[in-house]
Amino acid sequence: MSIFTSIGRYMILMSHIFYRPENGRMYYKEVMRQMNIIGVGSIPIVALISFFIGAVTAVQTAFQFVGSFIPPYYVGYVVRDTMLLELSSTITCLVLAGKVGSNLASELGTMRITEQIDALEIMGINTGSFLVGPKLIAAIITIPLLVILSSALGILGGYMAVATSNTIKISEYLRGLHAFFDPYYVTIMLIKALVFGFLLTSISSFYGYYVKGGAYELGKSSTRAVVISSVAILLADYVLAFLLT
């Protein structure tokens, strides 16, 4: 499949997603199920990674500031802004691209190669809206919430690292958390989360929806979905950083 064919099929699938669903009740139930899978199911891994990223950032920043003329409270300032502007949104969505993205591609790919999607289409059901739409809506709702949780736990991880070491005083870290705070940074974080969530869900669903062959092709499609989603997130991160800042 050429790149132009892939882009065309992707755009067609995206256009089908926003059609009005045939059965609103079933659509709602599927959205709730996907929110549980994508959101609740991802909390442990997101929490663990975010906590230790914040802790490591605090320790390494404090180490770099030792013996310099930079005030100690800048450790909290650096941890806060790093989590808000970059680490929470980007790292969380890259992790979800591997966890959620491969799962979405495998689920839809299995339905395609077992001809379940073909059966739904024969029944006149808009499979793009019915199968992909709830996943996309669930991701757009839950991924920003996961990113907010990630930033909070990253800051908490930095606090615990400072509290359990002799790097700087806790009061200095807390002072840094309040210093030079700009609420616009939270807006940037949420915009990134929405864009990244859309990209990783739609791209992963696309590769699963159009898979052909058997188990081998399904495995390749899942891997490709994770790789392309991750690359798209990184490219979007650069573009958004350029546009928003």
- Region at 36 (left for phi over 0; alpha for psi -120 to 50; beta for the rest): alpha
In the chain, count H helices and then E strands.
11, 0
Cβ–Cβ < 8 Å for 217, 172: no
The reported pLDDT for the residue numbered 83 is 93
Q: What is the DSSP letter of 70?
A: S
Q: If DSSP codes are grouped into helix, strand and coil, which group holds residue 23?
A: coil
The string of pLDDT tens digits covering residues 203-228 is: 999 998 888 888 788 888 889 999 99
Residues near 115 by Cβ (< 8 Å), separated by ≥ 6? none
Distance, CA of 206 to CA of 94 (rounded, Å): 18
Residue 158's pLDDT band, with cuts at 50, 70 and 90, is: very high
The chain-wide mean pLDDT, for the chain, equals 88
Distance, CA of 123 to CA of 120 (rounded, Å): 5
Residue 120's pLDDT band, with cuts at 50, 70 and 90, is: confident
The string of pLDDT tens digits covering residues 83-104 is: 999 899 999 999 999 889 889 9
Distance, CA of 47 to CA of 155 (rounded, Å): 12
Residues near 196 by Cβ (< 8 Å), separated by ≥ 6? 89, 90, 93, 143, 233, 236, 237
User: What single letter denotes the amino acid at residue 4?
Assistant: F
The reported pLDDT for the residue numbered 115 is 85
Q: What is the model's pTM?
A: 0.90
Residues near 84 by Cβ (< 8 Å), separated by ≥ 6? 151, 185, 186, 188, 189
Q: Rounded to an integer, what is the distance from CA 167 to the centroid of its chain?
A: 32
